[in-house]
Amino acid sequence: MKLVFATHNPNKLKELQKLVPASIELISLETLGCHDNIPETKNTLEGNARLKADFITNKYKLPCFADDTGLLVNALHGEPGVYSARYAGPENNAQANMAKLLTNLKDATDRTAFFKTVIALNLNGETHIFEGKIDGEITKAQHGEQGFGYDPIFKPMGYDQTFSQLPLSEKNQISHRGRAFQKLIAYLKDTNVTR
C-alpha cells in the first residue's frame, strides 16, 4: 500500500520510516513532486492536520496522512502550542524558538510541559484522527545533538536525558509522534489495509 505523509520535514519522515511495516510504502511530498507550502491557518492541532491531509488528498487523489505537533508549557498557559514551529517568527527557526521559550521561562519554577501530536488520516473517503502525548519538563539549557525542534530542551518524564540525547529508537517508542503513529499503524492493521 502506498501512503503519503504530508510533510516537508525530513526528520519527521526519517522517524516514521523506522516504524512503518514492510507492507506500507511511505511516500514523501518530495517523492510526489509536491513543493507547495501548505499554510497552517487553523487554531488547533487537529485543524491543521486535517487541513494538510485534505490539501494533498484533494490534489493527488491518494491515501494521505498529516500531523501537527505542539509543545504546551504549563507556566506559559499552553504556549507555544499550535504556534510551536513559528514561535519566534514565520521562518520556523528551531534555535530562535528554543531561545524565546527559555527566555520566557527564565523565572519560572514550574517547567512542566507536554508534547502533543495529532494525525489526520484520509483513507477511502473518511478522515480518522489519532493522538499521542508525552509529559515532561523544559530544561534550562540545550542538551544533545540529535532530534529536531524543541528536542534539546525537552526531558520526558521518568528520563534523565532530553529527546536529543536519547537514541532515535528509544525516542520513537515513547514520543508523542511515535505514540500517535503507532495508533495509526494499529488501525491500518485492524482494517486489513496493510495486507
Contact 84, 24 (CB under 8 A): no
pLDDT for residue 113 is more than 60: yes
User: Is 86 inside a domain boundary?
Assistant: yes
Q: Which pLDDT tens digit goes with each residue over 2-45? A: 899 998 888 778 877 877 778 888 898 998 999 988 888 999 99
pLDDT for residue 153 is more than 70: yes
Can you give the pLDDT at residue 194?
A: 52
What is the tally of structural domains in the chain?
A: 1
Can you give the pLDDT at residue 172?
A: 83
In angstroms, the CA 49 to CA 31 distance is 20
Residues 6+ apart with CB under 8 A from 171: 15, 147, 151, 163, 178
> Is the backbone peptide bond immediately before 156 cis, with ω within 30 degrees of 0?
no
Does residue 68 have an active-site annotation?
yes
Question: What is the pTM for the complete model shown?
Answer: 0.90
Task: Render 36-102 in DSSP notation, one character per residue.
Answer: -------SSHHHHHHHHHHHHHHHH-S-EEEEEEEEEEGGGTTEEETTGGGTT-TT--HHHHHHHHH
pLDDT for residue 70 is more than 70: yes
Can you give the pLDDT at residue 193?
A: 62
Residues 6+ apart with CB under 8 A from 150: 71, 84, 94, 97, 98, 101, 115, 163
Choice among 36, 54, 68, 107 that is catalytic: 68
CATH number at residue 110: 3.90.950.10
Give 192's pLDDT tier (boundaries 50, 70, 90). Answer: low
Calculate the average pLDDT of the chain.
91
Can you give the pLDDT at residue 146?
A: 87
pLDDT for residue 65 is more than 90: yes
Q: Which pLDDT tens digit goes with each residue over 163-189? A: 999 998 899 889 998 899 999 988 988
- Residue written as cell 510541559? 113
User: The domain containing residue 122 runs over which residues?
Assistant: 2-190
